[in-house]
Amino acid sequence: MTTKIAIFGVGLIGGSLALCFKGKEGVTVVGHAHRKESAIKYVNRGVVDQATLSLEEAALDADFIFLCVPVGMLEEYLRQLSRLPLKPGCIITDVGSTKASIAACALTLDLPGVHFIGGHPMAGSERSGVEAASSLLFENAYYVLTPPPGVPEAAYQALEALLRQTRAQIVRLDPERHDEIVGAISHLPHIIAVALVNQIHAYDTSDSLYSTLAAGGFRDITRIASSDPIIWRDILLNNRSVMLRLLKDWNDEVSSFIHLLESGDGAGIESAFHEANQFRSQLPERRKGMITPLFDLHIDVPDHPGIIGRIAMELGDQGINLSNLQIIESREDVPGIMRLSFRQEDDMERAKVLLQQKDYTVYV
């Protein structure tokens, strides 16, 4: 008996899911594409078994349907699927980073014998598109499932069993609770980063030294401000009520710091930093999350001709994938500081060992 899995939106997330399922005995993975060249690319890259431009053909007799399209398009795709003669017992799920609205939409649709279960894999990459897809993307990440009331437990268990092949840790939540938590740990930081960058940009229009000195740490802590504007427009509007409450709480936190500074309350400032330090130190370090972690090494490098190329070649010779390289400081008679960035923690650890063996001073 063959299990058919249909993927709508074969990009980073959809393609990575496809790679987790493809090649398993008795499983056929079908990808839906809008352009013929995309369909050919999905098959040629070995991401899916088959690809089609027809929504009806992709959904026909599917046992599982994954909607991996942007949040703003999820409800329309679900409505289109509700008009098709889907296989009895078919399970539809999505990968959107908001869950309450799509869950509410599913409850308004006529889906006889078909079960919708919201999903959100809390993993990502600084790269995008099917070219960045990897069967390892979800490993050691949380994958949230938000089944609505009335979904048979057997259907939930079937989807959970399938998703175990991603090697993610499955978490079951109510859609509303998911949106509150993810809004706080992901959506709110994105808003703060954008607001902070725009604030500095406004200062920079009259004094360009702001952007000159903002390199390094400022660029790192605000990197999520570079996220896709269209995607984040849809996410934030979709989670609008939650975000308004969170932003009001954020304003309260900012107001408390204003009060501490206005009153010269050094003890209060110290207490606030101490409390944050304690909580942050308890957060897990080695689990994937909504905001892609950076895996960086810093090394001292002498001011010698060819040293940068030599280091890059030594890493390449060992098959270590270097994502980015930056010289932070390099002056005559002063050792330069080089930052090496990696997409995978394993690459960072291997690079650390290799460079230490070659007598470089390495800092994590």
Torsion angles phi and psi, residue 144, rounded to 5: -90, 135
For residue 70, give both structure tokens.
């942007």
The pLDDT, as a whole number, for residue 31 is: 97
Please tell me what DSSP assigns to residue 292.
P
- Closest listed residue to residue 68, CA positions, set 92, 48, 44: 92
Q: What DSSP assignment string belongs to 112-133? A: TT-EEEEEEE----SS-SGGG-
- AA identity, residue 151: V
Query: In the chain, count of helices (H) and strands (E)?
Result: 15, 12
- Closest listed residue to residue 159, CA positions, set 21, 46, 60: 21
In which order are the strands placed within the sheet that holds 27-32? Answer: 50-52, 27-32, 3-8, 64-67, 91-94, 115-121, 142-146, 169-172
Distances (CA, A) of 275 to 210, 249, 261: 30, 17, 17
The pLDDT, as a whole number, for residue 341 is: 82
The pLDDT, as a whole number, for residue 293 is: 59
Q: Which residues pair with 5 in a beta bridge?
A: 29, 64
Do 11 and 129 contact (CB within 8 A), yes or no? yes
**Distance, CA of 153 to CA of 197 (rounded, Å):** 46
The pLDDT, as a whole number, for residue 136 is: 85
- Closest listed residue to residue 67, CA positions, set 48, 51, 80: 80
The pLDDT, as a whole number, for residue 332 is: 43
Do 159 and 117 contact (CB within 8 A), yes or no? yes
- AA identity, residue 223: R
The total of other beta-carbon atoms located within 10 Å of residue 360's CB is 19
The pLDDT, as a whole number, for residue 118 is: 97
For the four alpha carbons of 120, 121, 127 and 131, in that order, the dihedral sign comes to negative
Tens digit of pLDDT per residue, the chain (364 long)? Answer: 789 999 999 999 999 999 999 989 999 999 999 999 999 999 999 999 999 999 999 999 999 999 999 999 999 999 999 999 999 999 999 999 999 999 999 999 988 899 999 999 998 766 678 888 888 889 888 999 999 988 999 999 999 999 999 999 999 999 999 999 999 999 999 999 999 999 999 999 999 999 888 866 788 788 889 888 999 999 999 999 999 999 999 999 999 999 999 999 999 999 999 999 999 888 876 555 555 556 778 887 766 677 788 888 888 888 888 877 776 654 444 446 777 888 777 888 888 898 888 888 887 6
The pLDDT, as a whole number, for residue 302 is: 66
The pLDDT, as a whole number, for residue 331 is: 41
Query: Would you call 15 helix, strand, or coil by DSSP?
Result: helix
**Distance, CA of 338 to CA of 310 (rounded, Å):** 13
